[in-house]
Amino acid sequence: MKKYRLIFCLFLLFIFVLSCSSKAHHRRFVSTSRHKPVLNLMGYTIQAGAFKNVGNAVRLTEKLKTNYDLDATYFLAADKFFKVRFGNFKTKNLAKKRAQSLVKLNVIEEFYIVRPEDYSVARQRQYGTDYLRKSLVKTAKDFLGVPYLWGGSSPDDGFDCSGLTMTVYQLNGLDLPRNSRRQFDAGDYISKDNLEEGDLVFFSEKWNNRVSHVGIYIGNDKFIHASSHGKNIRIDNLSSDYFTSHYMSGRTYL
């Protein structure tokens, strides 16, 4: 009788261990199935130019990228001048030396070093994530009506959706990848019902499941994007027939 009791106890112990192991495995699976997205922070960046004509900002941007292998972008600043930011340096001294070398080559005239603490992301700890999200939306809205000519010098060249999202994030201190598919991979999945301001929304063509377009969610079922159809930066509704049928996924980075 004691022998059977021992066997029964060992059997219960085996079931208990197996159950705990299964739960532990499930916990491991849950914890790794979603990751906290981590974007690199922008370092020291060079800002140059103050152009009334967007074409001048575009030409400087392209020159820095093509001739000097510098990651550059342009934007409309609060003073209504188009300005160019480029580079991503670990120290202020490295950024200053690079800028001074470009002055000597007559590529730029004057410059300003943007510090990491100047970005909105640096104030996130003090003011909270909502502050950063609203800053991303404000930056995106500043591009409305701006002829955003990524990789081109005339409106006929069209726009690049992922160039817009990258620029908006970089201007707030987050080094978002350049390519839309890499942007998709860098973020964490967020359901359509749980989208928040500053999240990115991705779209695909009907015949495949690959990323073909990206925009910045601004709340109330709306997003800002560089539309290849209208060739301008605009606000559209996620619930419209076209974007509903092409919607792929949302991604968050905060």
For the annotated catalytic residues, the residue numbers are 161, 213, 225
In angstroms, how far is CA 80 from the centroid of its own chain?
Answer: 24
- How many CA atoms are closer than 13 Å to the CA of 80, on its beta-carbon side? 0
d(CA 87, CA 47): 9
d(CA 160, CA 165): 9
DSSP conformational letter for 229: T
CB 159 within 8 A of CB 233: yes
Distance in Å from the first CA to the final CA of the chain: 62
Sequence letter at residue 155: P
Residue 235 vs residues 60, 77, 119: alpha-carbon distances, Å:
28, 20, 25
In angstroms, how far is CA 92 from the centroid of its own chain?
Answer: 24
CB 83 within 8 A of CB 61: no
With both helix axes pointing from N to C terminus, report the angle between 129-142 and 161-170 in degrees, rounded to the nearest 10.
130
